[in-house]
Amino acid sequence: MEYRKEHDSMGEILVPADRYWGAQTQRSFDNFRIGTEKIPEEIIRAFSYLKQAAAIANLRLSRLDEERAQLISRVAEEIREGKLAGNFPLAVWQTGSGTQSNMNVNEVIANRGNELAGKKLLHPNDHVNMSQSSNDTFPTAMHIAAVLEIRDRLLPAIDLICGTFRTLEDKYRGIVKSGRTHLQDAVPISFSQEISGWRASLEYDREMIEASLAPLSYLALGGTAVGTGLNAPENFDAEAAKAVTELTGCTFRTSGNKYHALTSKSELTAAHGALKALAADMMKIANDVRWLSSGPRCGLGEIRIPENEPGSSIMPGKVNPTQCESVTMVAVQVMANDTAVGIAASQGNFELNVFMPVLIYNFLQSVRLLSDSLRSFNDHCVTGIEPVREKMHENLHRSLMLVTCLNPYIGYENAAKTVKKAFADNISLKEACVALGFLTAERFDEVFRPEEMAGEDA
């Protein structure tokens, strides 16, 4: 491999000749060879918006000349287009402020910009990092990345699966089945009502996630080192936020209190709480689906789901609910990530939080996993859910909890006696009720209508 010499305030260091990063990136790369987890691509993309916005703001405020501003913008756009992939190698497990990743982007933009210009116009600190500090850029990149990934990736995935559930509701309206509480038989419910519960859970989660975007839209940029705005011109924060808005199509605002913005990560913590709520509901829905499809002969067997892969290396013909298992594993990871996010957010000491890389790594992993999992579950499982009508009918009419509809006619205690006798003697509710003298056979038939117990939807 060929190398070139780069320098920083600590002296010279060799850098791979085919890479655009500089001395500070190389030092971090050498000093933190820890794990395989790299700073997420979403953060690098957010930095590209941030650096371009800062250049625009500095130009508008007469701090940066037009040639340099345009050069920074051009390279920032190349980053978003994927043309500079491979130039952002740093580990999550670096400085807790993300300083080296900020400098990684600064150095790549400066070196690539100078290459495009054919002369040395850009300095990573003096121009690309003008009016900024790692202490305000990294938290800004965190918020930008969180908002864009939720808007562009997660919300559409939720909408997709909710639309599928709504289609299933309409398609299977009128099918009545046994409800279940405590994993025990309960009163009837229609299949469409059950599906509507799944859909509504995700829709409520969506509302909570969307509500978390407003606090995330406030940016730390302009606070510089400790929140005072040292070395940033007046109105830089507002102009930079305006430029980020123009570039991303999302509304961003400057934070009203930069001391809070640098040290507190409450907005990300709250937003991840909403992601955890979604994960919890996805766990519940996936478990419902695999319970209802359990079998094919020795389980509940009330629904069929697509058969996607062979399920066993030893048991021929076995097929497993693999999409459900994938969803539940994703849910476990998101719930675990919430712990990491919460602990990291608590580590704001004085004027800065220094657990930011691990916080945003876990946050963005949750968004990514949930988005992909929702689409996979929708495409490979939910769209193919079919009711097994005969099994639903059989289980419905075998349920002893149908006796609940007799409460108004024979009372709760006599209804309980009817259930106990029917279960002990292995006879029907009708036979038990008549044998106990609570109702005649004719009257029983008049009031006992299981299919009507689920309400209007049935």
Active-site residue numbers?
A: 182, 312
DSSP code string of 159-208: HHHHHHHHHHHHHTTT-EEEEEETTEEEEEEEHHHHHHHHHHHHHHHHHH
- Contact between 198 and 169 under an 8 Å Cβ cutoff? The reply is no
Measure the CA angle with vertex 126, ends 121 and 130; round to 5°.
115
Distance CA(220)–CA(140), nearest Å, equals 5
Nearest residue to 364 (alpha-carbon basis) of 18, 43, 100, 52: 43
> 């036979």: which residue's tokens?
431
Distance CA(362)–CA(375), nearest Å, equals 20
Distance CA(391)–CA(297), nearest Å, equals 10
H or E, element range at 180: strand 176-181
- Measured in degrees and rounded to the nearest 5, phi and psi for residue 124 equal -60, -35
Task: Report the interhelical angle of 134-149 vs 236-248 (nearest 10°).
Answer: 30
